Structure 1
Amino acid sequence: MKTIGVIGGMSWESSAEYYKLINRHTKARLGGHHNARSLMVTVDFAPIEALQRTGDWPALGEQLADAARQLERGGAELVILATNTMHRVCEAIEQAIDVPFLHIADPTGAALRAAGIERVGLLGTRYTMEQTFYTGRLRERHGLETRVPDEAERADVHRIIYDELCHGKVKDDSRAVYQRVIETLAARGAQAVILGCTEISLLIKPEDSVLPVFDTTALHAQAAVEWAIESA
């Protein structure tokens, strides 16, 4: 099995989930006492979040490119970024390393198309829902029509991620907010919903949604393991 390098810390809550999922899937695939060969560089989320708010994406790209280089120097043979939002700067990461980089939207897009989905709702940070780096990739590479919540709903979804889930706070009333947003997306024609922030799976499980759930964290982790095993 090849070595998976993970850029984590955005937030550490979801990075811990990545570590668990990567190793759980490795054990399921290889059996016995196997776990994944992996490295993780954990960035400090506070300065990352501050730069997000000011929109300084070039500085963010430099920071994450540096983290990717650290992983490559440490022996990583594949790099993944354990966050949806920061794929806004994926080109800076890809240009900084010689090993492959697995984009989080691609395993999700492939799974949606395999399930026959054409119109999908997207939940994530305001950056992911409102900018085109994510929805554009789903459209151009996977032929998916993406629908996002309205402005007030986007504000609620974003606030719950940053003020609660990133701090490990999982609240029933916030789950109810997300459930109502998903119901609205379903009424607007979405056939499924993407949990397009790596913390959302802490709050929303498949049984909580009226739509089929596509969890980017789980799909990304699984795809990384499959690559690491099949490429060895």
Structure 2
Amino acid sequence: MKKIGLVGGISWTSTLEYYRLINEGVNEKLGGLNFAECVIVSLNFDDIQKHTWENAYGLLREATQTLTQTDVDAIALCANTAHLFADELRAGIGVPLIHIGEETAKTVQRSGLKKIGLLGTVHTMQKDFYKAKFHALGIEVLVPTLQETKNYIQQTLKEELGRGVLREETKKNYIAIMNELVAAGAEGIVLGCTEIPLLIKQTDVPVKVFDTIAIHVNAIVDFMVS
């Protein structure tokens, strides 16, 4: 089995899901008492907030360097927004970086969909680092048009889901936002923040939902047992 290095803590709630799902996935593949050989560097999310995501490259670079010193065979960043710096980090770590956006875009492509709605942090919805992975495969990406809506998603991700707080009112609002994207032509919805699948499930939306944690974990497990 290959050893995986995880950059977590962004946030701890989704990192917990990564750890659980990776171990379950490895055991499903290998059976017996086989579980994941992994190393987690868990960042203090408050440090990210103080630096802001735009200036978080140094923190992520330090985390990946710490992981490479433990002889991991690949690295995964346990947050969609952290992939803001994935290309730069990939160039300097010397081991594969399993990219959540690339894996999700390939999964959408295999589904045959050509237009998807994307929910995530403001950075993930507005910047090109994530959407470009879909555009490269000929997939159109729709995001909420109102800045107020994007800010609401950002706020609830940070202050609620990132703290492990799941509110029914927030779920209803997310469903309404996703239904607006479907009405605008989205054939599927990408849950482009690793906290959103804690709140939203396939049964909540009338179109195909792409759970980025599940997709990322599947790619990680496949690598580990390959």
Common fold: TM-score over 0.5: yes
Q: Which amino acid aligns with 1:146?
A: V
Query: Matched residues in 1 for 2:104 and 2:167: separation?
Result: 26
- The 8 Å contact of residues 61 and 90 in structure 1, kept in 2 or not, is answered as no
Query: Matched residues in 1 for 2:173 and 2:183: separation?
Result: 16
- The 8 Å contact of residues 62 and 92 in structure 1, kept in 2 or not, is answered as no
- The 8 Å contact of residues 13 and 168 in structure 1, kept in 2 or not, is answered as yes
170, 190, 197: which one aligns with 1:174: 170
Aligned partner of 1:218 in structure 2 is 214
Aligned partner of 1:2 in structure 2 is 2
TM-score by length of 2: 0.96
98, 106, 111: which one aligns with 1:110: 106
Q: Which amino acid aligns with 2:35?
A: N
Aligned partner of 1:13 in structure 2 is 13
SS of equivalent to 2:52: helix
Query: Matched residues in 1 for 2:220 and 2:154: separation?
Result: 27
SS of equivalent to 1:122: strand
211, 226, 229: which one aligns with 2:225: 229
1:144 aligns with 2:130: no
Query: Matched residues in 1 for 2:149 and 2:31: separation?
Result: 43
SS of equivalent to 2:123: helix
TM-score by length of 1: 0.94
Q: CA deviation at 1:27?
A: 1.2
In 2 relative to 1, CA 24–33 (structure 1 residues): closer, same or farther, beyond 3 Å? same
Q: Which amino acid aligns with 1:47?
A: D
SS of equivalent to 1:74: coil
Q: CA deviation at 1:64?
A: 0.7
SS of equivalent to 1:101: coil
1:38 aligns with 2:38: yes
Query: Matched residues in 1 for 2:52 and 2:119: separation?
Result: 18
Identity over aligned pairs, percent: 34
Query: Matched residues in 2 for 1:210 and 1:157: separation?
Result: 20
Q: Which amino acid aligns with 2:14?
A: S
Query: Matched residues in 1 for 2:164 and 2:30: separation?
Result: 31
- The 8 Å contact of residues 68 and 96 in structure 1, kept in 2 or not, is answered as no
Unmatched segments (≥5 aa) in structure 1: none
Aligned partner of 1:155 in structure 2 is 151
- The 8 Å contact of residues 139 and 145 in structure 1, kept in 2 or not, is answered as yes
What whole-Å deviation, never above 9, does each CA across 1:164-209 have from its counterpart, x for those lacking one?
A: 0001000000000000011000000000000000000110011111
- The 8 Å contact of residues 182 and 210 in structure 1, kept in 2 or not, is answered as no
Aligned partner of 1:65 in structure 2 is 61
Query: Matched residues in 1 for 2:96 and 2:200: separation?
Result: 31
Query: Matched residues in 2 for 1:203 and 1:162: separation?
Result: 13
List 4+ stretches of structure 1 deviating above 6 A: none
- The 8 Å contact of residues 121 and 194 in structure 1, kept in 2 or not, is answered as yes
Unmatched segments (≥5 aa) in structure 2: none
User: Pairwise mapping of residues 75-154 of structure 1 onto structure 2 (< 5 A)?
Assistant: 75-140=71-136, 142-151=137-146, 152-154=148-150
SS of equivalent to 2:39: strand
Aligned partner of 1:49 in structure 2 is 49
Q: CA deviation at 1:95?
A: 2.6
Q: Which amino acid aligns with 2:123?
A: Y
SS of equivalent to 1:143: coil
SS of equivalent to 1:24: helix
Query: Matched residues in 1 for 2:47 and 2:93: separation?
Result: 23
Aligned partner of 1:198 in structure 2 is 194
Aligned residues: 225
Q: Which amino acid aligns with 1:144?
A: I
Which range moved further: 67-76 or 150-159? Answer: 150-159
